[in-house]
Amino acid sequence: MSVLDLKAKQDQISKNGKIILLIIVFAGSLLLIRLWYLQIIKGEYFNQLSKNNHIRVRRIRALRGIIYDRKQKILADNHPGFNLSIIPENISNIEMVSTELSKYLADLDQKDIINRFNITPAHLKYRPLKIRNNLSRDELALLETHKVDLPGMLIEVEPIRSYPFDRQCAHLIGYQGFINEQELEQPSYASYYPDDLVGRSGIEAQYEELLRGTDGKRQVEVNAVGRELHSRVSKPAIAGSNITLTIDIELQSYIHELMKDMVGSAVAINPHTGEILAMVSTPSFSNNLFATRISQEDWQKISRDPLHPLQNRAIQGQYPPGSTFKVIMAAAALEDNIVTPQTIFPCIGYYRLGNSKFRCWNKYGHGKVNLSRSLKESCDVYYYNLACKMPIDRIAHYCSLFGLGEKCGINLPQEKPGFIPTSSWKLKRFHDQWYRGETLS
């Protein structure tokens, strides 16, 4: 390589170095200008932004499991509803906020809001405090229009329970109610919030754990007055498990229609499998009233009704068995060799014991009746004869063998057992012996 070529190459390297240096200087200048702009010109803005913006974790409520009948017809479902909450930490004057809210929400209990606000622990003031469930379209429009006057207000879309066959299945499906303070202190309710609904009766209560699902989480950036700026899902919600019942809603509805003006209950059972096809209790009520916070007026109407519509008479009512008890008496008498299938008792329309007459439903009598005919025609006199031949404690023994006096074990809460009297029970309760006439009556 010649001296001239070497010098030319050195000049080129020097020229390239100057270009690179200019680029570095230019880029550095841009960076300094940007830093100056951010720190000097926009410094106060970003300082205020950092003070006012917070990252909060909000719940994503899980969809509650759907309840189906045996033919996959929906008995309990969810629909979206707009719920109003307030964020206590973003409110400095709760009296002013509650007064402002009362302008747009009818029948708002301001004292209740203020009380719940004041008792909220300091470490929980970032959590939304529920004010109203299932806002109407008019209420939603008013609140959105005046949200600048309502700091700390939060409107969220959350699932609300709905029951398409509310009165037909009210006792069977049950309803939900707000969790109370005592329950919140229990370990089994550790994942619940103060404004959560829990199953209170029926299938909703029995399978609360399965139906509830698992709530998700989303991270939310909010400003000083609680307005959401940005959000992202950090943990998706997991819907509750669906449940299919043995109930046939068409049969359930048919029986309810027949009984809607009566007081009583009816249960339809498949005799081959034991499956319950229908369970109706009347009078009934609408469990949709409990899907959100039930009004005081509706609650008073239901709870003070002398016919007790909340009672599921099929599993909570305690009634005499009537003529169905004749089957057990017949089996007991055969087992103890008191009668044979051919044993005959005359029925003249009544049975005399001392000075008392115990009448048959057929006042003309059934004539000579054997065991088979006594069951077929439900002759009362035949079983008066059996009752006089069997001690009450022996009858009670066979009742126990058939499961009477115990809960049947149905997978519904609040079932009550039956009651079987004995001679020892009467002696302890009334300090008197058992008389034969009491068995007949």
In order, the DSSP letters of 90-115 are: G-S-HHHHHHHHHTTSTT--HHHHHH
Rounded Cα–Cα distance for residues 109 and 184 (Å):
23
Both tokens assigned to 248? 């046939």
Query: Of 96-100, 256-260, 325-329, where does mean pLDDT reach its minimum?
Result: 96-100
CB 386 within 8 A of CB 329: yes
Contacts 24+ apart (CB under 8 A), 50-56: 51/224, 52/223, 52/224, 53/221, 53/222, 53/223, 53/224, 53/229, 54/221, 54/222, 55/219, 55/220, 55/221, 56/126, 56/219, 56/220, 56/221, 56/222
Which residue in the list 323, 400, 424, 441 is annotated as catalytic? Answer: 323
Of the candidates 374, 439, 83, 67, the residue with the CA atom closest to the CA atom of residue 241: 67
pLDDT in tens, 166-225: 999 999 999 999 888 889 889 988 888 877 899 999 999 999 999 999 999 888 776 665
The span from the CA of 293 to the CA of 134, in Å, is 9
Element (DSSP H or E) covering residue 9: helix 3-36
The residue behind tokens 């708002």 is 108
- Our answer to whether residue 85 is catalytic in this structure is no
For residues 72-98, average pLDDT: 90
Report whether the peptide linkage leading into residue 306 is cis, meaning its omega lies within 30 degrees of zero: no
Q: Give the bridge partners for 353, in sequence order.
A: 356
Q: Which residues pair with 153 in a beta bridge?
A: 86
Residue 42 has pLDDT above 70, yes or no: no
pLDDT tens digits, residue range 122-139? 877 878 888 888 888 888
pLDDT digits (tens, 9 = 90+) for 301-317: 999 999 999 999 999 99
pLDDT above 80 for 18: no
In this prediction, residue 226 has a pLDDT band, given cuts at 50, 70 and 90, of low
Global confidence as pTM: 0.76
**Range of lowest pLDDT (3-7, 216-220, 245-249, 397-401):** 3-7
| Spatial CA neighbour of 292 closest among 153, 137, 132 | 132
Average pLDDT, the chain: 88
Please give the pLDDT value at position 199.
94
- Residue 78's H or E segment, with its range, is strand 74-86
132/156 Cα distance (integer angstroms): 11
pLDDT band at 8 (very low <50, low <70, confident <90, very high): low
- Please tell me which residue, 95 or 220, carries the higher pLDDT value: 95
Contacts of 407 (CB under 8 A, 6+ apart): 415, 416, 417
> What confidence tier does 5 reach under pLDDT thresholds 50, 70, 90?
low
Please check the confidence at residue 3 and state whether its pLDDT lies above 60: no
Q: Averaged over 218-234, what is the pLDDT?
A: 72
* Residue 167 CB coordination number (10 Å): 18
Residue entry with tokens 């300091």: 122
In this predicted structure, what is the pLDDT of residue 85? 87
Assigned token pair, 205: 């209560």
Alpha carbon distance 66, 48 (integer Å): 47
Specify the 3-state DSSP secondary structure of 398.
helix
Whole-number pLDDT of residue 47: 60
Place of tokens 């998700």: 216
Pairing of strands 67-68, 243-244: parallel
Between 325-335 and 380-389, two packed helices, what is the crossing angle to 10 degrees?
40
Residue 114 has pLDDT above 70, yes or no: yes
What pLDDT is attached to residue 38?
64
pLDDT given at position 299: 92
pLDDT, one tens digit per residue, over 342-385 is 999 999 999 999 999 999 999 999 999 999 999 999 999 999 99
The alpha carbon of 416 is separated from its chain's Cα centroid by a whole number of angstroms, namely: 20
Q: Over 70: is that where the pLDDT of 22 sits? A: yes
Domains of the chain: 56-244 (3.90.1310.10), 322-440 (3.40.710.10)
Q: 317-337 pLDDT, tens per residue? A: 988 889 999 999 999 999 999
Does residue 151 surpass a pLDDT of 90?
A: no
DSSP per-residue letters across 198-246: EE-SHHHHHTHHHHH-B-EEEEEEE-TT--EEEEEEEE--BPPPPEE-S
